[in-house]
Amino acid sequence: MTPDDPQTLVSTGWLAAHLNDPDLRILDASWHMPDAGRDAKAEYDAAHIPGARFFDIDEISDLRSELPHMAPPVEKFMSRMRAMGVGDGHQVVVYDSSGLFSAPRVWWLFRLMGKRDVAVLDGGFPKWQREERETEDLPPMVRDRHMTVQRQAGLVKDVTQVAAASKLLDHEIIDARSPERFSGAVAEPRPGLRAGHIPNSRNLPYGNLLNADGTMKDAAAIKAALDAAGVDLSKPVITTCGSGITAAIINLALERVGHANHALYDGSWAEWGMFTDLKVAKG
């Protein structure tokens, strides 16, 4: 059993005990790969944890960018959260319908906006349902709530910063994609992208940080997975993946083991794999 921490990860039991807290806000941040054939919003409408609001990762993003679901401008994040009734003084719990997949992305996004009272639901909606806990299909009653944001620029990296880190070897770059995608053995799911990985990056498939039931491994097992991937935790870490979603699982895991010096490469392979002037490693 992983210890509950309202700033990183909480159990279904913790959430059930706090479900009626007046300053609790629950977000369903389910997101699926485009080829998964699943509609996250429709699934939310059919059943969700009582009081949960739907957080649309694709819409609450920087739609000016050609890259998928890049972090939104501060003003957009604030306005969307206000409309959802999420603001200052709230404890936020984020979950997804896969177990532990896209919710850490929204946890990271709140961190980027300077909000620390936010946790991911360990095991997500599948665990909640397996335990036969209460669900509903009604939208919550929402009241506007003011939100103050202080963007933490150090938590996100752009392509120039990642390229420098790849050359200078002064960061550990950790890629959450599958070994087949990392090595370049299979084609990328997004058309037009080269196969392979950022030179001098390490591969830690996000599934290696999870238990069979979709919960996150404990601190000792997380450290073992980092060690097995060859990660040197004396260095700051940059996480990456296909499009900046599952990379955040590594950020969450790093936070759980007390390694606070980490950032996420928001463009991830959707950006790096597109530009022919950036080097690609294989194998």
pLDDT in tens, the chain (283 residues): 568 999 999 999 999 999 999 999 999 999 998 888 999 999 999 999 999 999 999 999 999 999 999 999 999 999 999 999 999 999 999 999 999 999 999 999 999 999 999 999 999 999 999 999 999 999 999 998 899 999 999 999 999 999 999 999 999 999 999 999 999 999 998 889 999 999 999 999 999 999 999 999 999 999 999 999 999 999 999 999 999 999 999 999 999 999 999 999 999 999 999 999 999 999 9
Cα 222 vs. chain centroid, distance in angstroms? Answer: 16
Which of the listed CATH numbers 3.40.250.10, 3.30.70.260, 3.30.750.200, 3.40.50.10470 matches domain 154-272? 3.40.250.10
The superfamily in CATH containing domain 9-151 is Rhodanese-like domain (3.40.250.10)
Q: What is the 3-state secondary structure (H, E, C) of 177-195?
A: CCHHHHHCCCCCCCCCCCC
Strand ranges, E, within 204-256: 237-240
Give the Cα separation of 49 and 162 in Å (integer): 38
Q: Which two tokens stand for residue 194?
A: 């080269």
Q: Could you confirm whether 33 is annotated as catalytic?
A: no
Domain ranges of the chain: 9-151, 154-272
Tell me which of 15, 92, 103, 241 is the catalytic residue. Answer: 241
Report pTM. Answer: 0.97
Give the Cα separation of 212 and 69 in Å (integer): 28
Q: Which two tokens stand for residue 97?
A: 């319908």
Contact 114, 139 (CB under 8 A): no
